Chain A
Amino acid sequence: MKTRTLTAALLATVLSVPGLAAAADYVIDTKGSHAFIQFRIPHLGYSMLLGRFNEFEGTFNYDEDRPGESSVEVVIQTASIDSNHAERDKHLRGEDFLEVDKYPEARFVSTGFSENDDGTATLEGELTLHGVTRPITIEVEHMGHGPDPWGGYRRGFTGTTTLKLADFNIDYDLGPASREVELFLSVEGIRQE
């Protein structure tokens, strides 16, 4: 009886200390490739072309008690673009598109995060791509979190957003159906102890 009261009291103390259990830094698991940055863009308006960036890294901070204070930063190696076609990738890296020699990195730095009740959230941030920095909004789904089988703790989100290529000074004419590219993001973070 006494032990149980003590435990309850201790537990209450721990839980009442704000952020002790909740606020945590996560490293996005690019090493184990549990994170993806995919893009898709219509081809002539007849089909979707899919590709991805193979190399990036990032971190995020998430506090269950104060999710609004979460933040995320991701740096993408633009030369790692991969659309499963060597000549197209070469073209995409060149001066018509990403100019990866001049702009080897793209960067996303969050500026705000607001959660809804249904597990979705809106992530605001600044995206620097092709030398242009602009605010973008990413629709986020908080997919899950918990211990992994190897002694760690993981938390994952998916996100989608749409970019106008012209907003980032990419004005190569791919046709009227192909002026916007959709991004699909899937990130899993490993909590840093």
Chain B
Amino acid sequence: MLRNTSTGYGWISILLHWLVAFVIIGLFALGLWMTDLTYYDPWYREAPAIHKSVGILLFLAILLRLAWRWSNPRPVPLSNHKPWEQRLAHWTHVMLYALPLLVMVSGYLISTAEGRPVEVFDWFSVPATFSGYEQQEDIAGEIHEILAFILIGLASVHALAALKHHFIDRDRTLRRMLRSRTD
């Protein structure tokens, strides 16, 4: 089953979820590592280039994910989830969409601060739109880093909550996101 139903996620949603999750974790680790590289490190130029390219592609993937989410039925929360859990989960999910977008926009504003485009591998480049604001690269850099840490923190809470549902509550919350089912 590719599409979502009111009781479960389809394969497209599941694949996009895990793709975005692993790419975000990877970009976070890459970002931390590459900012400490020194001038003569062989990765000094390549690592940021990959980070930026993958970041732009991730942005597109998240837009695709949102489009898919809005054009599909929304699986309803499991009946054993309490109202406060449902509300909290809903707002966490909203933030888990919003934060990556904000992190990526701020990252884009670092690279384009002096009007240069962002290159996505050798495939295409995204032109600068907003540039030349005083010390834009520094301000955008601060925001990029702080929001990235908040995002990873929130994603960790999200993952712990899923594990709690799986191992303690023993419900289908996590399994719904691992396998598409028709029932």
Partners in one complex: yes
Total interface residues on A, using CB and 8 Å?
Answer: 12
CB A137 to nearest CB in B, in angstroms, measures 29
Q: Which residues of the partner chain B approach A85 to less than 8 Å between Cβ atoms?
A: 114, 116
In-complex Cβ contact of A89 among B38, B39, B40, B137 (8 A): B137
What are the interface flags for A150-193 relative to B under an 8 Å C-beta threshold, 1 for contact and 0 otherwise?
00000000000000000000001111000000000000000000
B40 with A175: CB separation less than 8 A: yes
B38 with A84: CB separation less than 8 A: no
What are the interface flags for B110-143 relative to A under an 8 Å C-beta threshold, 1 for contact and 0 otherwise?
1111101000000000000000000111100100
What are the interface flags for B20-59 relative to A under an 8 Å C-beta threshold, 1 for contact and 0 otherwise?
0000000000000000001110000000100000000000
Counting contact residues on chain B (CB < 8 A from A), the size range is 10 to 19
CB A103 to nearest CB in B, in angstroms, measures 15
Count: A-B pairs, CB below 8 Å:
34
In-complex Cβ contact of B138 among A90, A172, A174 (8 A): A90
In-complex Cβ contact of B111 among A87, A93, A173 (8 A): A87
A87 with B137: CB separation less than 8 A: yes
Please report B residues at the A interface, Cβ cutoff 8 Å: 38-40, 48, 110-114, 116, 135-138, 141
List 11 A-B pairs, Cβ < 8 Å: A79-B135, A79-B138, A85-B114, A86-B137, A89-B114, A89-B137, A90-B137, A90-B138, A90-B141, A175-B39, A175-B40
